[in-house]
């Protein structure tokens, strides 16, 4: 109604659940391979064809033009080739295709349901710890955002990393996070299909360490 284009960053959702661009009716959807167990430097930009036809590429070069003359007249290919100037990342694209096949073979619904099962298990364990603050208990994803009372998130992440448990700490590229939960930095555990309940138990044991503050500080 207001001619507003909807661009969705699907990097954190496409690897974890079914995403139907027709059902969502989004104008553009972007996601990356490395978030899907694939190679770096490769991604996908989906766009409605009529919008792709109206856009202009940022880079021009071989592969996107069908013909050009010395007078400067150029005949360009139709999208998507119109946006593929130069030699593409062939190996990366082939690898990306294989990892998509791999995830589809596992089943995106299976991946999503398993992540939620792991999250439910982890939340139940974390809530038994007095010093843990949970920020997104009810979110429908395998991500758990938390803090330990009295310990800076980056310090906690370094402590866990020492024992081979990897979490991310900071604002997670979400600069408006502090406006939503009134705190800028948190720890984030991101569960995926390759994680297990046994790994969660290791995390809980580390967070249950009665000397954790002395060890960190």
In this structure, are strands 74-76 and 132-134 parallel, antiparallel, or unpaired? unpaired
From 37, 166, 173, 187, the catalytic residue:
173
Q: DSSP letters of 127-155?
A: TT-TTEEES-TT-SSSEEEEEETTB-HHH
Spacing of C-alpha 28 from chain mean position? 16
Q: Average pLDDT, stretch 23-47?
A: 96
Q: Are residues 101 and 112 in the same domain?
A: no
User: CA-CA distances (angstroms) from residue 197 to 128, 145, 177?
Assistant: 16, 17, 28
Q: Are residues 73 and 143 in the same domain?
A: no
pLDDT of residue 124: 97
pLDDT of residue 1: 60
- Rounded distance, CA 159 to CA 206, Å? 9
In a domain, 40, yes or no: yes
- Rounded distance, CA 132 to CA 36, Å? 29
In a domain, 65, yes or no: yes
Q: What is the pLDDT of residues 155-212, one digit of tens each?
A: 999 999 999 999 999 888 777 777 777 888 999 999 999 999 999 999 999 999 999 9
pLDDT of residue 176: 78
Q: Report, in this order, helix, strand and coil percent for the chain, each rounded to 5.
A: 40, 20, 45
Give the position of tokens 């960190």. Answer: 216
User: CA-CA distances (angstroms) from residue 6 to 9, 44, 61, 82, 124?
Assistant: 10, 16, 29, 22, 37
Q: Are residues 116 and 86 in the same domain?
A: no
* The pLDDT of residue 154 is above 90: yes
Q: Average pLDDT, stretch 45-50?
A: 96
Q: Give catalytic status of residue 173 as yes or no.
A: yes
Q: What is the pLDDT of residues 130-147, one digit of tens each?
A: 999 999 998 889 999 999
pTM beyond cutoff 0.85: yes
Q: What is the pLDDT of residues 63-100, one digit of tens each?
A: 888 787 777 788 888 999 898 888 889 999 999 999 99
Range of the domain at 27: 7-106
SS3 state at 202: helix
Per the structure, the count of domains in the chain is 2
Q: Average pLDDT, stretch 49-54?
A: 94
Look up the CATH number of the domain holding residue 188: 3.90.1150.10
* The pLDDT of residue 152 is above 80: yes
Last residue of a domain, one of 68, 86, 106: 106
């Amino acid at each position: 109604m207001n001619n507003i284009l909807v661009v969705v960053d699907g990097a954190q959702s496409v690897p974890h659940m079914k995403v139907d661009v027709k059902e969502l009716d989004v104008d553009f959807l972007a996601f990356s391979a490395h978030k899907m167990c694939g190679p770096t430097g490769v991604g996908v930009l989906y766009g409605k064809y009529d919008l792709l036809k109206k856009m202009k590429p940022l880079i021009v070069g071989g592969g996107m033009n069908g013909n050009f003359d010395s007078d400067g007249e150029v005949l360009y290919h139709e999208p998507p080739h119109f946006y593929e100037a130069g030699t593409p990342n062939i190996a990366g694209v082939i690898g990306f295709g294989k990892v998509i096949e791999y995830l589809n073979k596992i089943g995106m619904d299976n991946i999503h349901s398993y992540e939620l099962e792991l999250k439910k298990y982890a939340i139940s364990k974390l809530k038994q710890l007095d010093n843990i603050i949970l920020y997104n208990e009810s979110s429908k994803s395998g991500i758990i955002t938390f803090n330990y009372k009295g310990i800076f998130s980056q310090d906690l992440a370094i402590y866990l990393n020492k024992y081979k448990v990897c979490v991310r700490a900071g604002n997670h590229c979400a600069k408006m996070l502090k406006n939503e939960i009134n705190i800028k930095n948190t720890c984030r555990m991101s569960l995926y299909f390759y994680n297990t309940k046994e790994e969660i138990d290791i995390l809980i044991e580390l967070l249950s360490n009665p000397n954790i503050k002395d060890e960190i500080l």
